[in-house]
Amino acid sequence: MNSELIVDVRPSQISIALLEDKRLVELNEEGREENFAVGNIYLGRVKKIMPGLNAAFVDVGYEKDAFLHYLDLGNNFNTLNGFIKQVQSDRKKTPLLTKAKQLPEIEKNGSINDILKTGQEIVVQISKEPISTKGPRLTAELSIAGRFLVLIPFADKVSVSQKIKTEEERIRLKQLIQSIKPKGFGVIVRTVAEEKKVAELDNELKILVKRWEETIPRIQKSQGVSLISEELGRTVGIIRDLFNSNFKNIYVNDKDVHTEVRDYVELIAPERKDIVKLYKEDIPIYDHFGITKQIQSALGKTVSFRSGAYLIIEHTEAMHVIDVNSGNRSKAGSGQEINALEVNLAAADEIARQLRLRDMGGIIVVDFIDMHEGENRQKIFDRMRENLTNDRAKHNILPLSKFGLMQITRQRVRPVIDIDIEETCPTCYGSGRTKPSILFTDQLESKIDYLVSKLKVKDFTLHIHPYVDAYISRGLPSMKMKWKLKFGIGCKVIPSQKLGFLQYKFYDKKGEEIDLQEEIEKISSK
């Protein structure tokens, strides 16, 4: 299996697509100024204690208070809290964690009233991003993730990933880490650390400890609620978690992000830094690699996957529901049971992809086509488990019920990817009345004329639908060539698969959109 990472950097957003054998399996989108990402560490203030929930609401700067349950405080919360008080009491001297006083662990079945008080400042970490109407979910059991190791301040034990099956290797790694880790820190050894040498692990451990030490001065300098440690960017974070020998290419369309990614790859795998490549073509990067088309076909309510069979995917507040339909599929000479099995097996492949692609979390219920033989139902269960082995999110799968339903729970740390792939009629804008479509190119020319002559913008890019681009590119001289000669060589026309048939967008040389839409167009796009 060959993996590729495609990074589309835009002025306000970064979109990251993971391809496996050219097939889109993961899609991540975040704002350039995105806050409250998983892994960020904050100095927060307790706003309200909820004894009935055995939890507290904490102000970390988000519009809605974040949620912190008693069980998420961690066994060593007393030690953490004592250390933070020591840091805040002396803002000139930076205390070392190795010399921190170890306090008794909190009771497993204790009450949050005994631990926290309203107005108290505590250090917390985002464990789940804001979703829908809910604020972030917090934990006070801090961790700093690296490629091979996860550093846990205030703990003092070493754990090894269960995915490392060889007992000798598990013992080797545990003994190795115990010999090099500083006092007062716990470490989780990740799966990718298997067979790694002590020098590599020791080097990363020092980097993680340094990242923790850098948070201490920020706590000392903070004046109330503030961000004290920011998780790596989503792009670098994905590379950190996924990078392996299967990665063949990483394409980035921004120089700064390209440098950041290349530097990180050079740090973790110097011999493979050349797989990070800067994309310089005019055609949008997602269009070039066929990602836009895959998004349009895979992220709708209805998803076709094989020989007329399709899925219906519905999202609700409580759960996600997936219905498997065979459509008009039929196979001569085969019975109903065999047809149902074939469709369900193919559906299991596509559903596993959809869970990763949309980042669906919480409860997922799948209604497979009814099958009567227990052996066939077991095959569906085994196929789904096999398909989800590469899923980074924690999950649990139950066998099919008597009603043909499969229940899946999947870790939910971010909002589900929800992209509206439906297009408003670009001709009538939903009104049912149209202007002559043959005049569309005249409309574009007048917009360009206004941009050049009135706004004095010479260097810009016009994005239009590929079909329209094909129309204005035909002939010699073509309409596109006439525009370039008439208005200057700074005028570029780029086909974009994201746009509707008669939609258009202008961008300046910095990549920011120039709003030239008419009022009726603005209304229709809302």
pLDDT in tens, 318-376: 889 999 998 765 554 457 888 889 999 999 999 999 998 888 888 999 999 998 888 99
**Residues 281, 442, 461: CA angle, nearest 5 degrees:** 20
Q: What is the mean pLDDT of residues 215-227?
A: 87
* Paired tokens of 47: 């706003």
Task: Check residue 129 and give its pLDDT.
Answer: 84
Task: Check residue 429 and give its pLDDT.
Answer: 60
Q: What is the mean pLDDT of residues 228-254?
A: 82
How far is residue 500's CA from residue 496's CA, in Å, rounded to a whole number?
Answer: 9
With a cut of 80, say whether residue 14 has pLDDT above it. yes
Domain spanning 41-229, CATH architecture: Beta Barrel (2.40)
Where is pLDDT greater, at 437 or 221? 221
Identify the CATH class of 3-33+248-293: alpha beta
Where is pLDDT greater, at 486 or 45? 45
| Placement of tokens 């100024």 in the chain | 33
Confidence of residue 431 (pLDDT cuts 50, 70, 90): low
How far is residue 62's CA from residue 276's CA, in Å, rounded to a whole number?
Answer: 35
Across the chain, what does the average pLDDT equal? 85
Q: What is the mean pLDDT of residues 439-445?
A: 84
Alpha-helical regions (H) of 222-309: 234-242, 255-268, 285-288, 291-298
Average the pLDDT over each of 69-78, 80-89, 211-220, 419-428 and give the range with the smallest value: 419-428
Domain spanning 299-410, CATH architecture: 3-Layer(aba) Sandwich (3.40)
With a cut of 80, say whether residue 518 has pLDDT above it. no
Residues 6 or more apart in contact with residue 453 via CB below 8 angstroms: none
Confidence of residue 119 (pLDDT cuts 50, 70, 90): very high
DSSP 365-383: EEEPPP---HHHHHHHHHH
How far is residue 349's CA from residue 356's CA, in Å, rounded to a whole number?
Answer: 11
Give the pLDDT confidence of 26-67 residue by residue, as tens digits.
888 776 665 778 889 999 999 999 999 999 999 999 989 999
Confidence of residue 404 (pLDDT cuts 50, 70, 90): confident
The helix-helix angle for 167-180 and 198-221 (nearest 10°) equals 50
Q: Using CB atoms within 10 A of its CB, is residue 309 exposed (0-12), middle (13-18) or buried (19+)?
A: buried
Question: What is the 3 state secondary structure string of 40-63?
Answer: CEEEEEEEEEECCCCEEEEECCCC
How many CB atoms sit inside 10 A of residue 88's CB? Answer: 13
The fraction of the chain above a pLDDT of 90, given in percent, is 31
Confidence of residue 299 (pLDDT cuts 50, 70, 90): confident
Confidence of residue 459 (pLDDT cuts 50, 70, 90): confident
With a cut of 50, say whether residue 228 has pLDDT above it. yes
With a cut of 90, say whether residue 278 has pLDDT above it. yes
Task: Check residue 421 and give its pLDDT.
Answer: 61
What are the boundaries of each domain within the chain?
3-33+248-293, 41-229, 299-410, 437-525
How far is residue 163's CA from residue 226's CA, in Å, rounded to a whole number?
Answer: 37
The greatest distance separating any two alpha carbons of the chain, rounded to the nearest whole angstrom, comes to: 82
Confidence of residue 461 (pLDDT cuts 50, 70, 90): confident
Confidence of residue 116 (pLDDT cuts 50, 70, 90): very high
How many CB atoms sit inside 10 A of residue 409's CB? Answer: 15
With a cut of 60, say whether residue 522 has pLDDT above it. no
Task: Check residue 256 and give its pLDDT.
Answer: 87
Task: Check residue 333 and give its pLDDT.
Answer: 47
Q: For residue 415, which of 61, 141, 64, 37 has the smallest C-alpha distance?
A: 37
Where is pLDDT greater, at 412 or 224? 224
Q: Do domains 299-410 and 437-525 have the same CATH topology?
A: no
On whether the CB atoms of residues 503 and 465 are closer than 8 A, the answer is: yes
Q: What is the mean pLDDT of residues 188-203?
A: 89
Average the pLDDT over each of 155-169, 361-375, 465-479, 483-497 and give the range with the smallest value: 483-497
Average the pLDDT over each of 226-240, 408-422, 485-499, 511-525 and give the range with the smallest value: 511-525
Q: What is the CA 441 to chain-centroid distance, rounded? A: 39
Identify the CATH class of 437-525: alpha beta
Task: Check residue 435 and give its pLDDT.
Answer: 62
With a cut of 80, say whether residue 242 has pLDDT above it. no
Q: What is the CA 120 to chain-centroid distance, rounded? A: 32
How far is residue 302's CA from residue 312's CA, in Å, rounded to a whole number?
Answer: 5
With a cut of 50, say whether residue 519 has pLDDT above it. no
Confidence of residue 475 (pLDDT cuts 50, 70, 90): confident
With a cut of 60, say whether residue 523 has pLDDT above it. no
Beta strands 66-69 and 23-31, pairing class:
unpaired
CA distance to 349, 363, 382, 391, per residue, from 386 (Å): 9, 19, 6, 10
Q: What is the mean pLDDT of residues 280-288?
A: 90
Sign of CA dihedral 29, 31, 35, 41: positive
How far is residue 226's CA from residue 375's CA, in Å, rounded to a whole number?
Answer: 56
The fraction of the chain above a pLDDT of 70, given in percent, is 90
